[in-house]
Amino acid sequence: MNCKDLGKEVHMRRAIYLAKKAWGETHCNPMVGSVIIDKYNKIVSEGYHKRSGYPHAEILALERSKASKIDPSELTLFVTLEPCSSHGRTGACTNAIINSGIKKVVIGSLDPNPLHSGAGVEILRTAGIQVTCGILELECRDLNFIYNHWILYNRPLCAIKLAMTIDGCMAAYSGNSKWITNSEARQDVMLWRRLFPAIAVTQNTLLSDNPRLTSRIENSSDVRVSCSRRFILNRTLKDLETYSNYAVFNDEFREKTTVVYGEKVDPGRLNIFENMGISGWEISENANGLSIKDYLLRLRDSNINGVYIEPGARLATQLIKDGLVDYLFCYQAPKLMLDNKAASLGFNRMSESMEESFTLFDLRRINFGEDSLIRGFLKNN
C-alpha cells in the first residue's frame, strides 16, 4: 500500500457508499457504485446501480460526466466491481468505457464468476486503458457476498442469525431471550433483514414472539419500513387456529408471506391458508422435519439468491450439522449465563479434537457498545 493507493481508497470508499444506496434492492444483481474524478482529484460525476434492469453504475457516471465538458482522457473512473464485458440488457460496460475516451480505470473487486473474472480488465487494457485493481478489495467483495455466492455456486446463500452470551447461551432456561443483546445490535439486524431477499423463521418463533420480520430502520426524522419475502417454516401447519392472529399474515406486506410445509400436510389445514390468501410451498420431509435442502432448491428455482434464517438453537444446530449454513451472523453480549440447561447450540457428537469444529472465515467484526457482531462464511468440516 503506497500513498497513491491511499488517495484511491478515498474515492473507492465513496463509490462503496454510493453502491449501498441500493442496499437490498438490486437482487439478483450486485450492488455497484462508481465515481469519476478529474486530474485534480475532484469528483466530476457519480452513479450507482439502482436495481435489476436499471443502468449500471459506471454507465450512469459516464453519462453524467459529459456535462463537465472535460476532456475524457483527463478523467479517472472508479468502480467497485469489475465492469461487465458481456452484453446484458444494458450493453457491455467495457465498450461504453472504451468509447467514452477515459484512459484510467480503478476497480475494487473482480467479477466473482471464474469464467469472466479479469475479462473486463483485459479488454480495457487491450484498448490502452490503464487499469488498477484491488483497491478496497475486501470491502468491495463483502458488499456483494450474497451475489458472489450465487454466481459461484448457483444456489442461494443460506445465512443464519444467532444471538448469544460469550458462554454460548441463546436464552435463559425458561426460554426467555429478551434481550441478550442491546438495542444497537438489534437495530443492526434490521440492516441484514433488508439486505437479504428472503427471511425465514419457524412457527415456534411466530408463536413466541409474533415478529413482523420487516426491516424498520430509524433515522433522525423518520422510520423506513421494508419487507423481504417472509417464509414461515412449519411442517404440519399445526396451531393453525391461532394463525390469523399473527402479524405476518395480516399486515400490509402479507402477500410477501409464504408458509413452507411438508408433503404430509393435512389438506384441511392447507385450505385455511388458501382461504386467507397466503401462499404456500410444499417441500419434502426427512427424519428431522422439513428438508431445508429442498427449501433452498426451491428458493433457487424462484431466483431468490439468499435467505436470512433466524433459527432457534435446535434448528441452527441441525442446519450447521447438515452443512447447509453458508454464512453465520453471531451477535454476542459480554455476559455469562452459566446455565448448562439453557438453550445453546450442540448435539451429542462426542467430539475427539478441536479439529472437528466448524470454522468461520472471511471474518468481519463490529462492536455495538458492549456487544459485538462476528460474521463470516462457515467452513463445513
Q: Which is nearer to its own copies, 1 or 354 (CB)?
A: 354
How many CB atoms lie under 10 A from the CB of residue 115?
8
Say which residues have a Cβ less than 8 Å from residue 244's Cβ, sequence separation at least 6.
250, 276
341 lies in the site for its own copies, by CB under 8 A: yes
> Which of 351, 366, 368, 373 contacts its own copies by CB under 8 A?
351
153 lies in the site for its own copies, by CB under 8 A: no
Choose, from 9, 46, 58, 263, the residue flagged as catalytic.
58
Residue from 315, 362, 34 nearest 160 by CA:
315
Say which residues have a Cβ less than 8 Å from residue 341's Cβ, sequence separation at least 6.
173
Q: Site map for its own copies, 299-328, x if CB under 8 A?
A: ------------------x--xx------x
Stretch that binds its own copies, among 89-97, 103-111, 171-179, 268-276 (CB under 8 A): 171-179
How many CB atoms lie under 10 A from the CB of residue 154?
9
CA atoms within 13 A on the CB side of 233: 26
Binding footprint of its own copies, residue count (CB under 8 A) = 56
114 lies in the site for its own copies, by CB under 8 A: no
Q: How far apart are CA 96 and CA 102, in angstroms?
A: 10
| Main-chain phi, psi angles of 200, to 5 degrees | -135, 140
58 is catalytic: yes
Say which residues have a Cβ less than 8 Å from residue 169's Cβ, sequence separation at least 6.
180, 337, 339, 342, 343, 344
184 lies in the site for its own copies, by CB under 8 A: no
By CB under 8 A, what part of segment 361-380 binds its own copies?
361, 363, 365, 367, 370, 372, 374, 376, 378
347 lies in the site for its own copies, by CB under 8 A: yes
- What are the residues binding its own copies (CB under 8 A)? 164-169, 171-174, 176-180, 317, 320-321, 328, 330, 332-342, 344-354, 356-361, 363, 365, 367, 370, 372, 374, 376, 378
